[in-house]
Structure 1
């Protein structure tokens, strides 16, 4: 877990701490045999998985679905497991084609603060990382700091060993490969976000209102 000034908690494994914005991997949460999932304590869930992903593994709690689904992205991410340059291209394409969905995610978080909201995709790594990074850089967190915290969140994902193993079997891969994928992506995330210019302008251009942006800045802005 990583913590931003008491206002943002970055949770890769479904844990709960005080704050208003969280991240997780919905597939890992669903597959981990932990009894009552800690995420049930949240009232607000945003599910970024594609229609096919959501249909194959349904969550045990209601979630607002905002699919971020770029055809072929999952295979490209797997192929680029250790290649930051290739992964950056996937991230750029995702931002280019799914900008309105990312704006919708930011708007949903704004509409629900100060209540906590948890955002998740399948593993809580790529789509979730992009969504969280866009929100945080838009409210004033330095990109380098956001990328550093993102890598800490990725590194926490393999701690859900049972869930990761079940995910690996379902996706014809190995836990070792998934763990390796969780160690990369920092430079790719940095390059992709740098290329879009000002992240707040990116979100505004794709449908986020200035009122939503003001709300996010009030609730999440860093206080040093």
Structure 2
């Protein structure tokens, strides 16, 4: 299970994935974080965030999503900021075409490999502190990104899925009510299908996405190799993320 750090005030789905078991040990604490959008941070939350040692923020929201955030938080004041927009037009497409989470995750695997590889490369070679990945909810784009990275350093898939599923629990309540309210303001009916895509998680869908990576690429490591990384970087990713927790003689 993921050991959660203190939740910065205003956020709903923020956590450190440190503590998950991995090949040769466990994921280092304070190294890799995930979150919902940071615009909800309160002034106290911003102060808390700045004390967490996060040196890089990867923002996977589309430009439309960022433009709809008012007031907009200047995330570059918190850490090195990298915008990697995924699913451009996602807000409109979600409420008009309503993809399943399985379809969404397969599309991300097929189309966002270079972006996911860039995040992995940064964690492996460039980050001077913790790396945070976030989108709007912190469950889909963020979830696939972290699932691939964690899978590449051999975190057991059951643990990856458990960490992913926690997002639905974290987003329940005020966050979900606010987001579904925005959907209604856009003039759309909130159907069970929309509610699942906006607020839910699907363990089978995430597991199927990783199985697709197995079938089409040979695994997550090979997926990253096919999207521009090399073996040296994958070794550095392992060394960056995994600490040996075996007892010494």
TM-score interval for Structure 1 and Structure 2 normalised by the shorter chain: 0.7 to 0.9
How well do the aligned residues superpose, as a CA RMSD in angstroms?
3.3
Q: Is the 8 A contact 2:225 2:231 kept in 1?
A: yes
TM-score, length of structure 2 as denominator length: 0.70
Inter-partner Cα distance in structure 2 for 1:180 and 1:102: 21
**CA 1:23/1:171 → structure 2, altered by over 3 Å: closer, same or farther?**
same
Q: How far is the alpha carbon of 1:106 from its aligned partner? A: 1.2
Partner of 1:186: 203
**CA 1:164/1:64 → structure 2, altered by over 3 Å: closer, same or farther?**
same
2:159 aligned residue (145, 159, 163): 145
Partner of 1:39: 49
Partner of 1:219: 240
Aligned ranges 1:19-168 → 2 under 5 Å: 19-26=30-37, 29-31=38-40, 33=42, 35-37=44-46, 38-41=48-51, 42-57=54-69, 58-62=72-76, 63-69=81-87, 72=90, 75=94, 79-80=98-99, 86-113=100-127, 115-158=129-172, 161=174, 163-168=175-180
Q: Is the 8 A contact 1:22 1:117 kept in 2?
A: yes
Partner of 1:83: none
Inter-partner Cα distance in structure 2 for 1:78 and 1:34: 37
Inter-partner Cα distance in structure 2 for 1:77 and 1:213: 39
Secondary structure class of the residue paired with 1:67: coil
Q: How far is the alpha carbon of 1:20 from its aligned partner? A: 0.4
**CA 1:30/1:148 → structure 2, altered by over 3 Å: closer, same or farther?**
same
**CA 1:111/1:53 → structure 2, altered by over 3 Å: closer, same or farther?**
farther
Inter-partner Cα distance in structure 1 for 2:36 and 2:238: 25
Inter-partner Cα distance in structure 2 for 1:77 and 1:103: 30
Q: Is the 8 A contact 1:88 1:192 kept in 2?
A: yes
Q: How far is the alpha carbon of 1:115 from its aligned partner? A: 1.0
Q: How far is the alpha carbon of 1:204 from its aligned partner? A: 1.2
Q: Is the 8 A contact 2:64 2:88 kept in 1?
A: no
Q: Structure 1: any 5+ residue segments left out of the alignment?
A: 81-85
**CA 1:148/1:188 → structure 2, altered by over 3 Å: closer, same or farther?**
same
Per-residue CA deviation, residues 26-56 of structure 1 (Å, 9 max, x unaligned), is: 1xx3235463333344221110111221222
Per-residue CA deviation, residues 176-202 of structure 1 (Å, 9 max, x unaligned), is: 975885443211010011111101100
**CA 1:127/1:76 → structure 2, altered by over 3 Å: closer, same or farther?**
farther
Secondary structure class of the residue paired with 2:137: coil
